[in-house]
Amino acid sequence: MPNDCVDWQSEFRLTPPSGALPYEVLAETYDALYGREQAEKYRAALSVVGALHGRVLDLGCGTGLLSLYIRAELLVGLDPCVPCLRVAAERGYEVVAGTGRLLPFRDSCFDAVFSFTVVHEDPAMVFEAIRVARSVVVVSVLRKVAELLPPIVRALESWGSVNVVDREGVKDVIVVACRGQAKGGPLEKGARGRGGRVRGQVRGER
């Protein structure tokens, strides 16, 4: 990973929260359980910001499904699930084991930050996403916790222009914030992107 992105490395909690699937099981079943609903969220977001980007952070990347829908010069995935990160690395991600509470990256080092169905766990992640993003921040929020939307929208409005995408059939509400000239381009019908060419290595593995 480029040195101008990495600021420091921290120790993160790598065990799943109480009641969650064990990470090894989650990695094996993630695509089957969440692939279709995640794809709907990706398409809704990319209809606004496009599929072509420079340096991208996928905050809470899971198994790296986003890489099937975007093209990026560099695609970095951060997640606390090391088995999921192994799968993301196979899909072309540079991977970092951790959480979004305090990101180990320098300010404004990513052109775009995407975070799907993650920030409801800790809305403070939005401020970290803003800190490390240069042009685009996309977050999605589960409808069942829609009360979190107003403060998230206000935080993103303090950073850039905001577009809220609320589509029938999409499980989350998507909030898109853009600042300056984003690199994104429209996703052509029938086309699918691939992640950045830089192969990742699982970090933080114990």
Rounded distance between C-alpha atoms, residue 150 and residue 88, angstroms: 32
Residue 21: what pLDDT? 58
3-state helix, strand, coil in the chain (%, to 5): 30, 25, 45
Flag whether pLDDT at 138 surpasses 70: yes
**Bridge pairing between strands 71-79 and 52-59:** parallel
Residue 4 in any domain: the answer is no
Average pLDDT over residues 148-160: 96
Bigger pLDDT: 178 or 201? 178
Residue 195 in any domain: the answer is no
Residue 73 in any domain: the answer is yes
Residue 28: what pLDDT? 86
Q: Other CB atoms closer than 10 Å to residue 121's CB: what's the count?
A: 14
Contact 123, 154 (CB under 8 A): no
Residue 154: what pLDDT? 96
Average pLDDT over residues 63-78: 97
Average pLDDT over residues 65-77: 97
Residue 20: what pLDDT? 54
Residue 64: what pLDDT? 97
Residue 192 in any domain: the answer is no
**Cα 93 to chain center, whole Å?**
12
* Domain around 167: 34-178
Residue 56 in any domain: the answer is yes
The stretches of the chain forming alpha helices (DSSP H) are 23-49, 82-90, 125-132, 149-157
Q: For the residues of 188-201, what is the DSSP string, one character each?
A: PTT------SSPP-
Classified as helix, coil or strand, 178 is: strand
Bigger pLDDT: 5 or 162? 162
Contact 60, 117 (CB under 8 A): yes
Residue 6 in any domain: the answer is no
| Alpha-carbon distances of 115 from 19, 82, 119, 146, rounded to whole Å | 22, 18, 7, 16
Rounded distance between C-alpha atoms, residue 80 and residue 184, angstroms: 28
Residue 43 in any domain: the answer is yes
pTM of the predicted model, to two decimals? 0.80
Residue 23: what pLDDT? 61
CATH (domain of 163): 3.40.50.150
Rounded distance between C-alpha atoms, residue 169 and residue 143, angstroms: 11
Number of domains composing the chain: 1
Residue 205 in any domain: the answer is no
Flag whether pLDDT at 168 surpasses 60: yes
